[in-house]
């Protein structure tokens, strides 16, 4: 068990618990310690999972942009569990693994297109306190994506923001799922605040 979690993980038991563990092993190759943490309140766990499953069916925003936005939000908050898991899942989502690995340092990286950079800039800005989304950035994405996709982007980042902050607060950290890929995501690079990428695209 991961001894860094602030709520101790418990044994996941019962018929439903067995199904959960079988599903986790099939998907991830192991049962994450976070399952044992959330097992203390199964109703909360199942409701959060239900929201996550529903969000996976959203399909107006390009799937690659959606994945990059979620990873950028996780990196901005500093949720190593979310970032590691999303990198691991990038293979299932057919996301370019080179780009997935570079998300934590997207400002310095040269592998992203202008629209990808703007999407990640939006995700990062939404995760700031206070929220730092500018009219300029929002207008640019509205023109490029359309209102429906921009709303989806906003909702996906909002969900990741809540999930990532919750994991950090609970002490849930990376469980090295991406080690199975042989190419873990790069750590974030400390950098000074940059001018909006909209003006530099």
Q: In the predicted model, is pLDDT for residue 191 greater than 50?
A: no
Cis preceding linkage at 48, omega within 30: no
Length in residues, the chain: 201
What value, to the nearest 5°, has the Cα angle with vertex 126 and ends 123 and 132?
Answer: 120
Give the integer Cα–Cα distance in Å for 149 and 118. 14
DSSP state of 90: T
Average pLDDT over residues 136-160: 98
The predicted structure's pLDDT at residue 88: 79
Worst-scoring range by mean pLDDT, 56-70, 101-115, 155-169, 183-197? 183-197
Average pLDDT over residues 93-101: 79
**What is the value of pTM for the model shown?**
0.84
Written as one string, the DSSP assignment of 10-26 is ----HHHHHHHHHHHHH
Report the percent of the chain where pLDDT is more than 90: 69
| Interval 61-82: pLDDT, tens | 999 999 999 999 999 999 989 8
What value, to the nearest 5°, has the Cα angle with vertex 52 and ends 51 and 56?
Answer: 115
Half-sphere exposure of 74 (CA within 13 A, CB side): 30
The tokens describing 17, both together, are 């618990």
| Interval 30-65: pLDDT, tens | 899 999 999 999 999 999 999 999 999 999 999 999
Q: Is 178 helix (H, G, I), strand (E, B) or coil?
A: helix
CB 137 within 8 A of CB 121: yes
Q: In the predicted model, is pLDDT for residue 192 greater than 60?
A: no
Q: In the predicted model, is pLDDT for residue 193 greater than 50?
A: no
63-199 falls under which CATH superfamily?
AhpD-like (1.20.1290.10)
Looking at per-residue pLDDT, the higher value among 85 and 94 belongs to: 85
Average pLDDT over residues 122-132: 97
Looking at per-residue pLDDT, the higher value among 131 and 175 belongs to: 131
How many C-beta atoms surround the C-beta of residue 63 within 10 A? 13
Domain ranges of the chain: 14-55, 63-199
Q: What is the mean pLDDT of the chain?
A: 87
């Amino acid at each position: 068990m991961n001894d860094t979690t602030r709520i101790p993980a418990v044994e996941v038991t019962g018929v439903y618990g067995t199904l959960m563990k079988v599903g986790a092993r099939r998907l991830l190759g192991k049962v994450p310690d976070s399952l044992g943490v959330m097992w203390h309140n199964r109703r909360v766990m199942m409701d959060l999972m239900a929201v996550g499953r529903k969000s996976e069916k959203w399909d107006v925003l390009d799937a690659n942009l959606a994945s990059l936005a979620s990873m950028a939000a996780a990196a901005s908050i500093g949720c190593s569990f979310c970032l590691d898991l999303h990198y691991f899942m990038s293979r299932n989502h057919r996301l370019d693994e080179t780009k997935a690995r570079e998300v934590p340092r997207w400002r310095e990286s040269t592998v992203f297109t202008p629209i990808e950079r703007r999407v990640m800039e939006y995700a990062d800005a939404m995760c700031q306190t206070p929220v730092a989304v500018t009219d300029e950035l929002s207008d640019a994405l509205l023109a490029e994506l359309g209102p429906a996709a921009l709303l989806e982007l906003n909702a996906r980042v909002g969900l990741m923001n809540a999930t990532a902050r919750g994991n950090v607060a609970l002490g849930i950290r990376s469980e090295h799922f991406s080690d199975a890929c042989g190419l873990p995501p790069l750590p974030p690079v400390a950098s000074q605040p940059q001018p909006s990428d909209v003006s530099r695209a």
